[in-house]
């Protein structure tokens, strides 16, 4: 199945705008961008994403807490989640994968290659 719909969760407005534009314009994806974990949880079912790209460090509900909330809801438990973060030390990546993330994309990211990176991950995880 081809990747078409991505839910992107990022609290930093500038990063959110660049990534959303990159995914929509360069990648051709339908993107729903949310500024918090709570907002993502409120809109995920209606949007119906195939993939969730989630920031790790966010106020109130961080990425790992948001991931756990997605995992505990039968409507969203099967949607693959990728963390996008500057925290990319091997131990940190291992921790994110143990939590259930399918992969980790490093920040800063290249807006011209972000879509290709997500497509490669999508193909690798066999979603």
CATH number for 61: 3.40.50.2300
What is the model's pLDDT at position 42? Answer: 96
pLDDT in tens, the chain (127 residues): 899 999 999 999 999 999 999 999 999 999 999 999 999 999 999 999 999 999 999 999 999 999 999 999 999 999 999 999 998 899 999 999 999 999 999 999 999 999 999 999 999 998 6
What is the model's pLDDT at position 127? Answer: 65
Cα distance between residue 73 and residue 43, in whole Å: 13
- Which element (helix H / strand E) includes 105? strand 103-106
Q: What residues make up the domain containing 60?
A: 5-125
What are φ and ψ of residue 80, in 5° steps? -65, 145
Whether 31 and 114 have beta carbons less than 8 Å apart is answered as no
* pTM more than 0.85: yes
Whether 52 and 40 have beta carbons less than 8 Å apart is answered as yes
Domains in the chain, number = 1
Whether 79 and 101 have beta carbons less than 8 Å apart is answered as no
| Full DSSP string of 29-56 | -EEEEESSHHHHHHHHHHH--SEEEEES
In the DSSP assignment, the letter for residue 58 is: -
């Amino acid at each position: 199945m081809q990747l078409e719909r991505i839910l992107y969760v990022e609290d930093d407005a500038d990063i959110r705008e660049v990534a959303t534009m990159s995914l929509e314009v360069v990648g051709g994806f339908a993107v729903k961008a949310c500024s918090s974990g709570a907002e993502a949880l409120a809109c995920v079912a209606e949007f119906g994403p195939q993939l969730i790209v989630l920031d790790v460090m966010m106020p109130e509900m961080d990425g790992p807490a948001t991931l756990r909330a997605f995992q505990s809801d039968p409507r969203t438990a099967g949607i693959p989640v990728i963390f996008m973060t500057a925290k990319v030390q091997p131990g940190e990546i291992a921790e994110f994968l143990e939590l259930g993330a399918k992969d980790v994309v490093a920040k800063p990211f290249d807006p011209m290659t972000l879509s290709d990176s997500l497509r490669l991950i999508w193909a690798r995880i066999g979603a």
